[in-house]
């Protein structure tokens, strides 16, 4: 029924947009023109797409961060703006690539579901996704909130501009966001006929194509259709299946219909559909590190006993031997209706939207070629409904926005986890005779059923009071209600199909099986009201110099554990762990925004600090079973730092930019955190016993660890991006235009790839360098070649701790050097 309703809704939306035939199809993975900050977004309700080049002499970057159009230099908050041309030019076709241009943005993805998008180190816990909490970074596409972070893994489709807003945004946006927001604006239907098409080819069989066409259907009706397709073979070779994994296979479609009967009223109906079907997602062997588990139960001894060796001990050979079928089918789409109506001195905006998400995975959770975990998959389906209504008013004395927001989400997940023929020898102590009987664990399976109902409603508003032309005071408030209802059930069956029941009386065989998978059933719930507020003061020292300071008291809604909870000595669920408290955030920020040299140069500086109480952390318990991680509250977390953005365009022939960030994000108080692998695996201490030294086999292990003062995962202290482009007039094959050369680079220092920092999971810092060169004409033709990761640097996107405290560390290498060619045309 869900599938039928979804198909019907999408079909209705797309059929509403008549098919327009583009002159040529398709788009680019890499480089085009402007290398500095981007062109401004067009007015999405005007009859023609209008924008001012960001680096034209005296030009401005127009943003909608405060729900009205204004120069980015007039907005008293830290904001990074990337235009559509710059996205194409740098090959930043999804959020993962975007982080190379915006140093304070962090993106990590082991697969589309297990994706984290953070700003300044804050947003969602690092590790496996738990549907029971909110994301701290809101992702908005044409004003529509996307609750699934998986949407960040898709290609950008016909994008005009992306704004990355840093810091709490709850008093201006529908869904509360404590870390920031990514505000994506697509190109809108136009009343002048226009189109664009690009196609790119590269190594690794890379193919990417994009096309968009827009124009009038009548004096009051306009339509726009866009399509995108990306494919590439994988960068890791699986010696078992003779396949390349980590491939790309993306398809995106978007249709929009704009009805503008008067200058005061504009109604936009939009529908989109995106699908991924990659041979993904896997890992490679990286290293081992000694834990406190008995030596004969660590990776080296267990591998030797089973006659196993990884295909390579050099992870940058890019070889793996994963023996479980890999699958990462991901579909996201929906429809929206946006009404914008100018009423008197203000504007009423209504956005009604429905989104869906279907996730069909299959993973190898033991990270080896051994049949230990034979199957691991947790397919999910989501439907989301949102309604936002707001009123904007602007005058010489005051500007304000007030709004109401409603949200409902339903997620259903069906999980299957199964053990394989090598599981008994790997997971049962060698001193136990059952370890030599493969049938004890072979075929042991856990079936998970879960659902989440998530409802929230909010009233929000923000006022800008212009006391003088130079001084503005800006208070904002938000009242929010959240309710979450969940259900989780795990049923366990042995290899003979018999269900294991918790009745307190078990044979040795059943005890060994229950140590892997334990039946569980819980129905966690959470509800709460929250009030948050912020206050900003800004002062124009000079026409092009703005000072500002902000204080915000914000929150992130509490949550429920949707992946199961820990159990006590009698295997009963510890219900106190079923819910997590809301995060309480105190945020402080100050900055300066300047333009000089006749506005040919821009320099912005910000300093910030966020103090979070009851930070929602991901806790991993090292088991092979279904309970791979759950949520818990850390006592206190702090993120503080400075950010600098600079761009310059002294002439039409040259532009350059440099952005940098120093981020100090640490646990201030987390005394009962999960221990890193070097302090795990041994007999847990009791009473006055003293834990052993890290990495000593057979030593006593602490029940938990105090990681206060240590760095949050995924955060580099130093991060930079920089680039430049130069061009010169030229005539080629009778076409007048310009030859150009562009460069973009990024550097980041090391970061922890485990929720509790471990000596084994620090990812070394690295730098990436991308170049492009080509020829473009004023008529819109652009032909160029590009190279990404020019020096073929070896680096990791992420490292993973293998289950069971065996000391195995697996990893996901970043992309090697890639190169290709692109041809594009605007008409």
List, for residues 661-675, the tens digit of each pLDDT value.
999 999 999 998 889
End-to-end CA distance of the chain: 42
The model's pLDDT over 732-784, given as tens digits with 9 standing for 90+, comes to 999 999 999 999 999 999 999 998 999 999 999 999 999 999 999 999 999 99
Res 110: pLDDT: 85
pLDDT tens-digit readout, 60-114:
788 887 777 888 899 999 999 888 888 887 777 778 788 888 999 998 888 888 8
The DSSP call for residue 126 is S
CA distances from 626 to 330, 383, 410, 474, 742 (A): 22, 24, 22, 48, 48
Q: Using 50, 70 and 90 to split pLDDT, how confident is the model at 623?
A: very low
**At residue 412, does pLDDT exceed 90?**
yes
DSSP state of 573: B
Q: What angle do CA 192, 196, 199 make, to 5 degrees?
A: 170
pLDDT at 40 over 80: no
- Rounded mean pLDDT, 604-627: 76
For residue 413, give both structure tokens: 């997940």
Distances (CA, A) of 232 to 235, 245, 248, 319, 798: 9, 10, 5, 17, 21
Domains of the chain in start order, with CATH, are 2-826 (2.40.170.20)
pLDDT at 116: 86
Token pair listed for 443:
């075929």
Average pLDDT of the segment spanning 635-662: 96
Distance CA(807)–CA(299), nearest Å, equals 6
Residues paired with 490 in a beta bridge = 448, 520
Mean pLDDT, rounded, for 566-595: 90
Q: What is the pLDDT of residue 620?
A: 62
* pLDDT exceeds 60 at position 503: yes
* 621 band by pLDDT with thresholds 50, 70 and 90: low
Write down the pLDDT at residue 30: 31
pLDDT computed for residue 12 by the predictor: 40
pTM for the model stands at 0.90
pLDDT, tens digit, for every residue of 156-203? 899 999 999 999 988 888 888 899 999 999 999 999 999 999 999 999
Where does 621-717 show beta strands of DSSP type E?
A: 629-651, 654-669
E strand residue ranges, 733-804: 735-748, 751-752, 762-763, 766-777, 781-788, 796-801
- Reduced to 3 states (helix: H, G, I; strand: E, B; else coil), residue 392 is strand
| Beta bridge partner(s), residue 669 | 636
Residue-wise pLDDT tens digits, 425-457: 999 999 999 999 999 999 999 999 999 999 999
84 φ, ψ (degrees, to nearest 5): -60, -40
Write the pLDDT tens digit of every residue in 115-167. Answer: 888 999 998 887 767 888 888 899 999 999 998 888 878 888 999 999 999 99
Q: How many CB atoms lie within 10 A of CB 553?
A: 17
pLDDT in tens, 378-388: 999 999 999 99
Place of tokens 């989440």: 452
**Separation CA 627–CA 562 (nearest Å):** 10
- Other C-beta atoms closer than 10 Å to the C-beta of 690 total 8
Q: How much is the pLDDT for 83?
A: 85
- At residue 562 the predicted structure's pLDDT band, cuts being 50, 70 and 90, is confident
Cβ atoms of 458 and 445 closer than 8 Å: no
Q: Is 733 exposed, middle or buried (0-12, 13-18, 19+ CB in 10 A)?
A: exposed
| Residue 23 exposed, middle or buried by CB count within 10 Å (0-12, 13-18, 19+) | exposed
Q: pLDDT class for 25, splitting at 50, 70, 90? A: very low
| Dist. CA 712–CA 667, nearest whole Å | 6
CA nearest neighbour of 83 among 109, 60, 58: 60
Q: Is 709 exposed, middle or buried (0-12, 13-18, 19+ CB in 10 A)?
A: exposed
- 721 has pLDDT over 60: yes
What mean pLDDT do residues 333-344 have?
A: 96
Length of the chain, in residues: 827
What is the side-by-side order of every strand in the sheet holding 180-186? 79-83, 159-166, 180-186, 137-141, 144-146
Q: How confident is the model at residue 628 (pLDDT cuts 50, 70, 90)?
A: low
- The answer to whether 738 touches 728, Cβ cutoff 8 Å, is yes
* Inter-residue contact 188 to 268 (CB < 8 Å): yes
The answer to whether 795 and 788 are in contact (CB under 8 A) is no
Give the DSSP H/E element, type plus range, for residue 539. Answer: strand 525-542
Tens of pLDDT, residues 598-611: 999 999 999 999 99
Helix (H, G, I), strand (E, B) or coil at 81: strand
Q: How far apart are CA 275 and CA 360, in angstroms?
A: 11
Mean pLDDT of the region 263-291: 96
Residue range 558-576: mean pLDDT, rounded: 84
pLDDT of residue 47: 27
Predicted pLDDT at 629: 67
Instruction: Decide: 633 and 617 in contact? Cβ < 8 Å.
Output: yes
Mean of the per-residue pLDDT values of the chain: 89
Tell me: pLDDT of 16 over 60.
no
Structure tokens at 53: 């080049």
Q: Which pLDDT value is given to residue 347? A: 96
Average pLDDT over residues 275-299: 96
Query: DSSP per residue over 30-70, as a string?
Result: S--S--SS-PPPPPTTSSS-----TTSTT---EE-TTSS-E
Are the C-beta atoms of residues 364 and 399 closer than 8 Å to each other? no
- Give the DSSP H or E segment for 410: strand 398-419
- Nearest alpha-carbon partner for 794 in 314, 329, 227: 314
For residue 20, pLDDT over 50 is answered with no
Q: Which residue has the tokens 């310009």?
A: 738
Quickly list H helices, 465-604. 508-514
Q: Where are the alpha helices (DSSP H) in 718-796?
A: none
Residue-level pLDDT at 719: 97
Helix (H) or strand (E) holding 520: strand 520-522
Query: What's the pLDDT band for 42 if we cut at 50, 70, 90?
Result: very low
**Do 135 and 118 meet the contact criterion of CB atoms below 8 Å apart?**
no
pLDDT in tens, 79-94: 998 888 888 877 777 7
User: What SS3 state is found at 113?
Assistant: coil
476 vs 36 pLDDT, higher one: 476
Distance between CA atoms of residues 4 and 272, nearest Å: 16
Q: What is the mean pLDDT of residues 804-823?
A: 96
CB atoms within 10 A of CB 588: 15
């Amino acid at each position: 029924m869900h599938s039928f309703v979804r198909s019907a809704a999408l079909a209705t939306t797309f059929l509403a947009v008549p098919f327009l035939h583009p002159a040529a199809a398709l788009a680019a993975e890499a480089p085009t023109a402007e290398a500095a900050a981007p062109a401004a977004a067009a007015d999405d309700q005007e009859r023609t797409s209008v924008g001012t080049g960001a680096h034209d002499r005296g030009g401005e970057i127009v943003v909608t961060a405060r729900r009205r159009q204004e120069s980015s230099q007039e907005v008293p908050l830290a904001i990074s703006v990337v235009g559509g041309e710059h996205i194409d030019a740098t090959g930043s076709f999804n959020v993962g690539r975007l982080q190379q241009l915006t140093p304070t943005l962090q993106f990590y993805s082991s697969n589309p579901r297990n994706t984290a998008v953070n700003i300044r180190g804050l947003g969602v816990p690092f590790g496996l996704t738990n549907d029971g909490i909110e994301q701290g970074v809101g992702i908005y596409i044409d004003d529509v909130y996307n609750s699934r972070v998986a949407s960040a893994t898709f290609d950008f489709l016909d994008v005009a501009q992306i704004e990355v807003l840093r810091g709490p945004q709850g008093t201006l946006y529908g869904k509360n966001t404590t870390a920031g927001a990514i505000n994506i604006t697509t190109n809108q239907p136009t009343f002048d006929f226009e189109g664009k098409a690009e196609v790119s080819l590269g190594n690794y069989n890379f193919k990417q194509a994009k096309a968009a066409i827009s124009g009038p259907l009548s004096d009051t009706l306009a339509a726009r259709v866009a399509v995108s397709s990306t494919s590439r073979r994988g960068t890791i070779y699986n010696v078992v299946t003779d396949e390349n994994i980590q491939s790309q296979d993306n398809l995106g479609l978007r249709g929009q219909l704009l009805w503008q009967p008067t200058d005061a009223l504009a109604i936009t109906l939009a529908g989109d559909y995106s699908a991924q079907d990659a041979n993904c997602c896997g890992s490679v062997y990286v290293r081992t590190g000694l834990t406190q588990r008995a030596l004969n139960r660590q990776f080296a001894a267990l591998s030797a006993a089973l006659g196993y060796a990884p295909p390579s001990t050099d992870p940058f050979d890019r070889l793996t031997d994963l023996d479980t079928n890999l699958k990462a089918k991901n579909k996201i789409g929906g429809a929206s209706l946006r009404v914008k109506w100018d009423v008197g001195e203000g504007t009423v905006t209504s956005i009604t939207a429905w989104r869906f998400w279907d996730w069909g995975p299959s993973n190898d959770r033991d990270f080896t070629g051994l049949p230990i975990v034979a199957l691991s998959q947790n397919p999910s389906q989501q439907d989301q409904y949102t309604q936002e209504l707001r009123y904007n008013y602007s005058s010489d004395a005051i500007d304000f926005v007030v709004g109401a927001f409603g949200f409902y989400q339903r997620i259903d997940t069906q999980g299957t986890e199964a053990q394989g023929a090598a599981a008994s020898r790997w997971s049962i102590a060698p001193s136990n005779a059952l370890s030599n009987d493969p049938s004890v664990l072979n075929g042991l399976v856990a079936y998970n059923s879960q659902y989440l109902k998530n409802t929230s409603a909010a009233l929000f508003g923000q006022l800008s009071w212009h006391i003088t032309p130079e001084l503005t005071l800006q208070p904002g408030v938000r009242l929010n209600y959240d309710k979450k209802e969940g259900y989780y059930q795990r049923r366990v069956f042995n290899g003979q199909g018999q269900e294991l029941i918790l009745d307190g009386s078990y044979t040795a065989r059943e005890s060994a099986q229950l140590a892997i998978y334990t039946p569980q059933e819980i129905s966690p719930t959470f509800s709460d009201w929250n009030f948050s507020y912020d206050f900003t003061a800004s002062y124009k020292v000079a026409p092009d110099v703005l000072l500002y300071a902000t204080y915000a008291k914000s929150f992130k809604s509490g949550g429920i554990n949707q992946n199961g909870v820990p159990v006590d000595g009698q295997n009963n669920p510890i219900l106190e762990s079923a819910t997590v408290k809301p995060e309480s955030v105190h945020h402080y920020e100050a900055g300066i925004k300047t333009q000089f040299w006749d506005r040919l140069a821009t320099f912005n500086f910000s300093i910030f600090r966020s103090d979070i109480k009851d930070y929602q952390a991901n806790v991993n318990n090292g088991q092979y079973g279904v309970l791979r991680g759950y949520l818990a509250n850390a006592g206190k977390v702090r993120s503080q730092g400075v950010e600098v953005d600079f761009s310059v365009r002294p002439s039409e022939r040259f532009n350059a930019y440099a952005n940098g960030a120093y981020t100090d994000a640490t646990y201030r108080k987390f005394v009962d955190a999960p221990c890193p692998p070097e302090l795990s695996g041994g007999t847990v201490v009791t009473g006055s016993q003293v834990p052993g030294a890290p990495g000593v086999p057979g030593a006593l292990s602490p029940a938990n660890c105090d990681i206060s003062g240590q760095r949050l995962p995924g955060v580099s202290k130093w991060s930079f991006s920089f680039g430049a482009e130069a061009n010169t007039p030229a005539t080629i094959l009778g076409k007048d235009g310009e030859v150009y050369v562009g460069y973009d680079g990024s550097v980041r220092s090391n970061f922890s790839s485990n929720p509790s920092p471990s000596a084994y999971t620090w990812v070394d810092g690295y730098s990436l360098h991308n170049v492009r060169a080509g020829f473009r004409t004023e008529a819109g033709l652009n032909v160029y070649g590009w190279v990404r990761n020019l020096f073929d640097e070896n680096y990791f996107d992420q490292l993973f701790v293998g289950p069971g405290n065996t000391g195995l560390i697996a990893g996901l290498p970043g992309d090697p050097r890639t190169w290709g060619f692109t041809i594009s045309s605007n008409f």
